[in-house]
Amino acid sequence: MSTNGDQSSQAEQKQVVVLKRLIIAATTFDHVKLLCAHIESLGAETFTPLHVPLFAGVSVTYMKPFMRSDGLGPLPRKFQEFPDAVGHQKTHEDLKNGRDWYYAHRDMFKAPNLLSNPDRRAGFEDVTLHIEESGISFSINEQSWSITSVSRVRNLCDYQKSRIDNDLVALLNVLRSGKHLKIGQYVLGRDFP
């Protein structure tokens, strides 16, 4: 038979998991912003094949908080909805589809649809054999975001962080309610709440 204390403790433990999930997501979005800044510092003339792994890092890292995360779970659905920010909705979907169809996996049927220009979609699945006097080589058609579109991702991360920060403050205030914390460090779930 459970007591009110047990139920309160279980509810508090669930709130700590939510708090951890939010903090890890906020940190992840900071990582994406750092990667975006690095990409922009390389400039538009960067070697195109380098864009693919860099944007893979952006897409896969951005999507981490939305994927199943054993022990934490994904961010709530509201962080995938942007009723007042249609541009952010598109960027979020582009990152999700980029991760799912191209950067983390290579879906030969869906990945060409990531390109907004239909003329560039033709031949996506082609692998070309090059025969030269020096030997043979192969090439494939790679996709990448434009360097200028990196600002869309950074703005989305800023928007997501502001939403997370609001939830973090509210939840932290609930967990701190009636507790005086001295200056110091507290490990969530062990030292706090």
Mean pLDDT by 10 residues, the chain (193 residues): 66 92 96 94 77 89 89 93 92 90 75 60 76 89 75 96 96 90 91 88
DSSP one-letter code for 177: T
Q: Which amino acid is at 17?
A: V
For 43, phi then psi, to 5°, come to: 85, 165
Angle between helices 86-98 and 150-176 (to 10 degrees): 100
Structure tokens at 89: 């909705």
For 135, phi then psi, to 5°, come to: 145, -165
Structure tokens at 46: 């960067």
**Separation CA 162–CA 155 (nearest Å):** 11
The pLDDT value recorded for residue 49 is 75
Residues 6+ apart with CB under 8 A from 99: 59, 60, 62, 63
DSSP one-letter code for 125: T
